[in-house]
Amino acid sequence: MNILVTGGAGFIGSHTVVELIEAGYSPVIVDNLSNSDPSVLQGLKNILGKDIPFYQEDCNDYVKMNKVVQRHNIEGIIHFAAFKAVGESVAEPLKYYQNNIGSLLNVLNVMQANGIRNLVFSSSCTVYGQADVIPVTENTPKKKAESPYGNTKAIAEDILEDTVKAGLGFGIISLRYFNPVGAHPTAEIGELPIGVPNNLVPYITQTAAGVREKLTVFGNDYDTPDGSNIRDFIHVVDLAKAHVSALNLLQKHTDAPYYNVFNIGTGTGNTVLEVIDTFEKVNHLKLNYEIGPRRPGDVVKIYGDVEKAAMEMNWRAAKTLEESMKDAWRWQKKISNL
């Protein structure tokens, strides 16, 4: 089954391409390389032993997308392509609405024109904001997004649900990812942030590699056991496998309109300081870090109830935080030539 993977040169998309091949699917990548590097394709080849069809195109381009879909007889799409920097989205909201919502609408139009039923969409736990009760289930009410980026995910989910409801022949799953970390255990692919990382784990690994002088922990006076924020850190390979499970599930629901959302996390929360501690322990090194002020907009604590994905998709995260921290460091050492 030929699957179009938009954003397939990115962090989560590239790991998903590997899992798709291992599950017997045939992925085709469309990525405009706006936040990724062509070296990812070589990494994929080193893991998979073959080239994956790749098109450097923009998902907002209807004509180009239509061509790729027809050329490869695409039967399903995983739509990763989006901008994801929360702070930048506050400064440049139109850029985010255009790319994240515009590309989704374009993908849906291309699907409809070509009779493609199945879509898996990258949503985010950001739609919950600071939930009143954790762990959050898929029924936890969504809160008004803190940023235009977060709002693109909330709006996208509404667009997808409405589109399915209209009975246009779609089967769609939104996966609400928690915090993806780690890298492929081969160290052939991993996270490649452009410029200063926004996210915790690449900041940790770059600090350990000497690319950054020190990590600042954004606050240790929260209402948590050690005062730092709590997140649900999921190994990117586990997250990638959830997309295979979602595609498999969509194929069981081909007779009627189908829309569903799933939390994709580990079901466990860890504090920022626990992550640092685990990184130091498993990799036998000391990290230069200091406690700084809170980062505006951070939720205090969140982790996911993941039983729905276990029950309905037969998927559960298997890797530990220790493995994530080892794999993240192995990858950083490779790209830093250490």
- Minimal distance, residue 19 CB to ligand NAD, in Å: 14
124 binds ligand NAD, rule: CB under 6 A: yes
Contact partner, 35, from ligand NAD, ligand WQD, none, Cβ < 5-8 Å per class: ligand NAD
Distance CA(308)–CA(321), nearest Å, equals 22
Determine which residue in the list 5, 18, 52, 82 makes contact with ligand NAD, applying CB under 6 A: 82
Contact partner, 189, from ligand WQD, ligand NAD, none, Cβ < 5-8 Å per class: none
Contact partner, 11, from ligand NAD, ligand WQD, none, Cβ < 5-8 Å per class: ligand NAD
Has 149 been annotated as catalytic? Answer: yes
Determine which residue in the list 9, 160, 201, 309 makes contact with ligand NAD, applying CB under 6 A: 9
Q: Residue 303 has which token pair?
A: 């982790």
27 binds ligand NAD, rule: CB under 6 A: no
In three-state form (DSSP H/G/I as H, E/B as E, the rest C), the secondary structure along 65-107 is HHHHHHHCCCCEEEECCCCCCHHHHHHCHHHHHHHHHHHHHHH
Residue nearest to ligand NAD as judged by C-beta position: 10
Q: Which of 55, 149, 177, 222 is catalytic?
A: 149
Interacting span for ligand WQD (CB under 6 A) from 15-23, 199-207, 248-256, 330-338: 199-207
Among residues 227, 183, 218, the alpha carbon closest in space to that of 86 is found at 218
Determine which residue in the list 25, 80, 96, 203 makes contact with ligand NAD, applying CB under 6 A: 80
Contacts of residue 41, Cβ cutoff 8 Å, sequence gap at least 6: 9, 29, 51, 52, 54
Q: Contact 169/114 with Cβ under 8 angstroms? A: no
Q: Residue 305 has which token pair?
A: 């109830």
Among residues 144, 158, 169, the alpha carbon closest in space to that of 104 is found at 158
Catalytic residues, by residue number, are 149
